[in-house]
Structure 1
Amino acid sequence: MSLTTDVKAELVSIRNAAPTVRVAEVTTILRFAGGLHSIANRVAVEAEVDAEALARRVVRDLMEIYGVRPEIAQVQSGTGQEGVRYAVRVIAAGETLARQTGLLDQRRRPVRGLPNRLTTGSREELAGVWRGAFLAAGSLGEPGRSAVLEVSCPTSEAAMALVGAAHRLGIAAKAREVRGTPRVVVREGEAIRSILSIIGAGRTAAAWEELRQRREVRAGVNRLVNFDDANLRRSAQAAVAACARVERALEILGEEAPDHLRMAGELRLAHREASLDELGHHADPPLTKDAVAGRIRRLLAMADKRAQQEGIPDTESAVPAGLDE
């Protein structure tokens, strides 16, 4: 199952919420999953959801809270979404329900956002608003650079109402429009975990956070491996270049190379991948790494000076193209 399905399954299983919280949730579901329609000159309330369990939850809440008897029908989605969808419809008492839930104002005008009493309610009621919005039109992406919790909104006013509710809950959310559809998004990892916990998906929040931390650790390890690989590559290139220059220096100087400088050069060629400190331990008597580096540096300088005097290629000429010492 997807993370979105996991969240919705956990939210649908919530029971025994306070009546005002149930009102906030079911009203938001009606607003975000459908809304008002005119059927035979009568106002009908309809919500189209993606799971039968959610449809039955909406039916139960409407019956228990408002005393109406909705009908459920399987429908073909008009938004191109895959899978079976379920429409919960209230026709006979649609206008009364619309007034009671605040989807119609006192002048029988549709409310474009959310009823004011919901967005100014208690923390529990605000959590109910967000739970209803996610159940109706929410989605959760996997942790990573593009991690996002997103809710598609019916209007820009509804999006702004949801953003306001998030801010009152201490969650940073933003409204944006994607291909003409208003959306509310929560992007920062800690904010996503927090909003999941607040709306009641604590189990999924913990699993999502564990997955996020695991991926961050893996990404950190990959960065370190890449860093180490780069350092090893540079070290190997430097060793190849250094050995090429020493070989050329000994070739240029021949028998004229001082014994102590020749010995340092031959150590370098005999132990091509060793560090300067390791080369010093191989010397007889042992030398410090600074002493080894100094002798090799003087050997190269002496050979380059002789090459300049004789007009022949110096030690740099022996370094393979593309390598840096």
Structure 2
Amino acid sequence: MSFSKDVKNELARVPMEDMAILHAELAAYVRTCGVIRLREGLKIDLSFHTENASVARRILSAIKRLFGSDVEVAATQNMYLKKNKQYRIRMTDEGSVRALLMDSDFLRPDNVFQMHYAVDPALLRDAQSIRAYIRASFLGAGSVTSPSKRYHLEMISHDKTHGDDINKWLSRVGFSAKGIYRKDDYILYLKEAEKISDLLAFMGASRSVLEFESTRVVKDVRNNVNRLVNCETANLSKTVNAASRQIRDIELIQKTVGFSALDEELIPVATCRMNHPEASLAEIGEMMEPKMSRSGVNHRLKKIHELAEKLRGE
């Protein structure tokens, strides 16, 4: 089971305690996973589509509690892509359909052909209603990637006005998502791990937050270890390459003009480097009598290199 499905299953079990929450959630489902069709005689057909059984049960429960009307439930096998089941919850009572769409401010009596994707603020009068609306928007058309792969949470809108409106409500409670078009849809997304974790907690997915943070900690530790190993490897490689070049310089001087051509202060450093090819500059400095600093050793090896370059004719 995917992490996104686990999150939705947990959120679908959050209690719907009062009517304001029911209205807020249904207003979100109408705008995210609702499908409206006009039939003969200007009759309105409303159904909700989702691939998550827990979300389907939650939508069905909300409709039953508010309207108690007849509802058809169907499950079909999607033959494309992942072949997941598609659940359809269809309201069959015309009066209940109109009541829900009007109460959600998605349609208005003066013009039933114009859809209003920006929700009426009167529906979201308190923090709990806003939380319910954001939670249902995620349940209806959202997903979150497993933190073991990458940090990404998104909500899909079929209309930019709707996407901007969701972002407005997110901003009201301390979140701010970015938006981008993907084909014909407008996508709101978060990529910061802390923001995703906080939003999951805000929506009520406390168990998923623990899993998210646990995976995140392991991932961050692993990444930090890899960075340290890569850094140490790079430094070791740099030290070995520098030591090899220094030894070549010293061997060239030995074969051509001998150590007698070196200044007296350079000979101990050259000798120590030849005897300890694996040592770092700091370790060579510790072996000197008296001890020398790393920069002091490096300065003397640079002078040796300059002499070797002259002997090479460079």
TM-score (norm 2): 0.85
Matches within 5 A, 1:69-218: 69-75=70-76, 82-93=83-94, 94-109=97-112, 110-117=114-121, 120-143=124-147, 147-218=151-222
Separation in structure 2 between the aligned mates of residue 181 and residue 174 of structure 1, nearest angstrom:
14
Q: Is the contact made by 1:118 and 1:125 (CA closer than 8 Å) also made in structure 2?
A: no
- Greater shift in the superposed pair: 286-295 or 221-230: 286-295
Which residue number in structure 1 is paired with residue 279 of structure 2?
274
Question: What code does the residue aligned with 2:76 have?
Answer: V
Q: Tell whether 2:32 aligns with 1:27.
A: no
Distance change (3 Å), C-alpha of 1:167 and 1:119: farther
The code of the aligned residue for 2:99 comes to T
Q: Which amino acid aligns with 2:277?
A: R
More deviation in 167-176 or 35-44? 35-44
Contact 2:250 2:308 in 1 (8 A): no
Matched residue SS, 1:289: coil
The residue identity in structure 1 corresponding to 2:2 is S
The code of the aligned residue for 1:12 comes to A
Q: TM-score, length-normalised on structure 1?
A: 0.82
Aligned partners of 2:307, 2:105: CA distance in 1, in Å?
92
Q: After superposition, what is the alpha-carbon deviation per residue over 1:87-111, rounded to whole angstroms, capped at 9, x for unaligned?
A: 1001223223322333321224243
1:55 aligned to 2:56? Answer: yes
Cα gap change, 1:32/1:280 in structure 2, threshold over 3 Å: closer, same or farther? closer
Question: In terms of mean alpha carbon deviation, does 184-193 or 249-258 score higher?
Answer: 249-258
Contact kept? 1:250, 1:262, Cα under 8 Å: no
CA contact (8 A) 1:249 1:304 kept: no
Alpha-carbon distance in 1 for matches of 2:148, 2:65? 42
Write the distance in 2 (CA, Å) between the matches of 1:149 and 1:298: 58
Q: Percent identity?
A: 24
Deviations, residues 212-256 of structure 1 (Å, cap 9, x unaligned):
233223222222222221111111111011111111112222484
Q: Which amino acid aligns with 2:68?
A: G
Q: Structure 1 residues 20 and 119 mapped into 2: Cα distance closer, same or farther (>3 Å)? A: closer
The CA deviation string for residues 90-137 of structure 1, in whole angstroms up to 9 with x for no partner, is 122322332233332122424330430466421111111111111111
Deviation of residue 258 (structure 1)? 7.3
CA distance in 2, matches of 1:304, 1:53: 75
CA distance in structure 1 between the partners assigned to 2:119 and 2:79 by the alignment: 26
Instruction: Please give the alpha-carbon distance, in whole angstroms, between the structure 2 residues aligned to 1:100 and 1:299.
Output: 86
Partner-residue secondary structure (3-state), 1:13: coil
**Cα RMSD (Å) of the superposition?**
3.0
Q: Residues 203-282 of structure 1 correspond to what in structure 2 (within 5 A)?
A: 203-254=207-258, 256=260, 262=267, 264-279=269-284
Equivalents in 2 of 1:299, 1:57: separation in Å?
A: 79
Q: CA deviation at 1:141?
A: 1.6
Larger Rg: 1
Instruction: Output the CA distance in 1 between the equivalents of 2:286 and 2:121.
Output: 81
The number of aligned residues is: 307
Alignment check: 8 A CA contact 2:148 2:215 kept: no
- Secondary structure of 1:238's partner? helix
Instruction: Give SS of 2:75's match.
Output: strand
Q: 1:78 to 1:195 in 2, by over 3 A?
A: farther
User: Unpaired segments of 5 or more residues in structure 1?
Assistant: 308-312, 317-325
Q: Name stretches of at least 5 consecutive residues in structure 2 with no aligned partner.
A: none
Contact 1:262 1:299 in 2 (8 A): no
What is the CA–CA distance in structure 1 between the aligned matches of 2:79 and 2:181, rounded to whole Å? 20
